[in-house]
C-alpha cells in the first residue's frame, strides 16, 4: 500500500464496469499531472488532490452534489 508516509488521494464509489475505472484514472492522472493506479474498485493518486478533485470529476460528467471530500 503506501510507503514512506507520503500523501495519496483515494477515490471510491465509481462504476467498475469494463475499463471504465481505468479510463477515469487515466484521465485524472493526465489532468492532475500525477501518478496513480486503479484497482479493486479504487483509484489511488499520488499526492493530495482533494481541492481540485471535485472540479476534475465534474468535467468528466459526475455530479458535484454526489462528490464528498473527507
Question: Where are the chain's structural domains?
Answer: 8-66
Q: What is the mean pLDDT of residues 14-35?
A: 89
Backbone angles phi, psi at 63, to 5 degrees: -70, 135
Q: Which three cell numbers stand for residue 13?
A: 464509489
50 or 15: which carries more pLDDT confidence?
50
pLDDT of 16: 77
Cβ neighbours for 18, distance < 8 A, ≥ 6 positions apart: none
The answer to whether 20 and 27 are in contact (CB under 8 A) is no
Helix or strand or coil: residue 42?
Answer: strand
> Alpha helices, DSSP H only, in the chain?
20-32, 50-59
Q: Which three cell numbers stand for residue 43?
A: 483509484
Q: Does 8-66 carry CATH code 3.40.640.10? A: no
Band of the pLDDT at 19, cuts 50, 70, 90? confident
Q: How confident is the model at residue 1 (pLDDT cuts 50, 70, 90)?
A: low
Checking if the pLDDT of 37 tops 90, the result is yes
pLDDT value of position 69: 82
Give the residue with greater pLDDT, 64 vs 9: 9
Contact yes or no for 26/60 (Cβ under 8 A): no
Amino acid at each position: 500500500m503506501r510507503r514512506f508516509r507520503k500523501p495519496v488521494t483515494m477515490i471510491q464509489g465509481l462504476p467498475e464496469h469494463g475499463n471504465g475505472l481505468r479510463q477515469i484514472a487515466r484521465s485524472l492522472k493526465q489532468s492532475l499531472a500525477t501518478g496513480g493506479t486503479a484497482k479493486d474498485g479504487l483509484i489511488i493518486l499520488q499526492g493530495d488532490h482533494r481541492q481540485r478533485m471535485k472540479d476534475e470529476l465534474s468535467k468528466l460528467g459526475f455530479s458535484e452534489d454526489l462528490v464528498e471530500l473527507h
